[in-house]
Amino acid sequence: MIRTGLRRLRDHRRGAAALEFALVMLAFLPLCLGIIMVGLLLWTHNALQTTANFTARCVAISSPACASPASYAVSTSQNWLQVGTLTSSGVVVQTGTSCAGGSGSMVKVTLSSSSFTAIPWLSELSTNALTASACYPASP
């Protein structure tokens, strides 16, 4: 009697696919979420670097759009990033400085942001700030 019950259980295949799917998803889902998070991190860093480049150039050529470099950087970053990723307190502009590889008077812009994800509850877990800096020769 017990042998026939064990044999029936061994031969019973209903639900095997669901069990295999559950076991595979335990490893696959965190892997996929990790890939998405690394992609968002790289996207945010690239957007900050591009914003730093644009802001440094705008300040260096004394464009009227850069009357306030911090607000220009924040508004430019919103083309690629979610609102609030870069704030005006994270923008540092130095004029008349020298940068690595550059000679003469340069404009250096440094941007820093502590939020790099589109998922709000995950940004609270992150303590590392993203920074980007750019130099541009100042106009004479």
pLDDT in tens, 19-73: 888 899 999 998 898 888 888 888 888 999 999 999 999 998 888 888 899 899 9
Q: State the pTM of this model.
A: 0.74
Residues above pLDDT 70, as percent of the chain = 80
pLDDT of residue 116: 58
**DSSP string across the chain:** -HHHHHHHHHH--TTHHHHHHHHHHHHHHHHHHHHHHHHHHHHHHHHHHHHHHHHHHHHHTT-GGGSSHHHHHHHHHTTTS-TTSS-GGGEEEEEEE--TT--SSEEEEEEEES---SSHHHHTT--PPEEEEEEEEPP-
pLDDT of residue 51: 93
pLDDT tens digits along 110-119: 998 876 555 5
Rounded CA Rg of the chain: 26
Rounded to the nearest integer, the mean pLDDT of the chain is: 81
